[in-house]
Amino acid sequence: MDGRVSVGRRIQQSTLPYQTMHQIILPANHHFTSLVVSEEHICLQNSAPQLLIASLRERYWIPCVWNLKKTVNHLCLNSYRFKTQSTQQLMGELSTTRVKSSRPFLTTGVDYIVTVSL
């Protein structure tokens, strides 16, 4: 061992590489750990948080990695600039025949849309 502390798992019979089975433990509040997360964030081109954490967990075990990911994502200018906003679906009002209780199939209707191709 070269002075690193690694995670011990119960998957010794697995065919996974040694580095994947025994990740290096990095402290969450250390500057080196934030540099590792930042580098991985840039290498994955500002990808989804789940992908970033899965990629980090192949080599490293970082306690409270979600908090560190949020900090790195917040400090990344590209992530801030291109952050997508979720949109709300616009819903129209239903007609009275659709919301009034009546016998089945007393009133029927067809919804359609016309598309124009250029």
Q: 9-25, pLDDT tens digit by residue? A: 667 777 777 777 778 88
Are the beta carbons of 45 and 55 closer than 8 angstroms? no
69-100 pLDDT tens trace: 888 877 887 777 776 666 778 888 888 877 88
* pLDDT at 51 > cutoff 80: yes
pLDDT at 50 (0 to 100):
86
Does the pLDDT at position 62 exceed 60? yes
Q: Is the pLDDT of residue 43 over 70?
A: yes
Using a cut of 0.75, tell me whether the model's pTM lies above it: no
Give me the pLDDT at residue 32, please: 93
Q: How many helices (H) and strands (E) does the chain have?
A: 6, 2
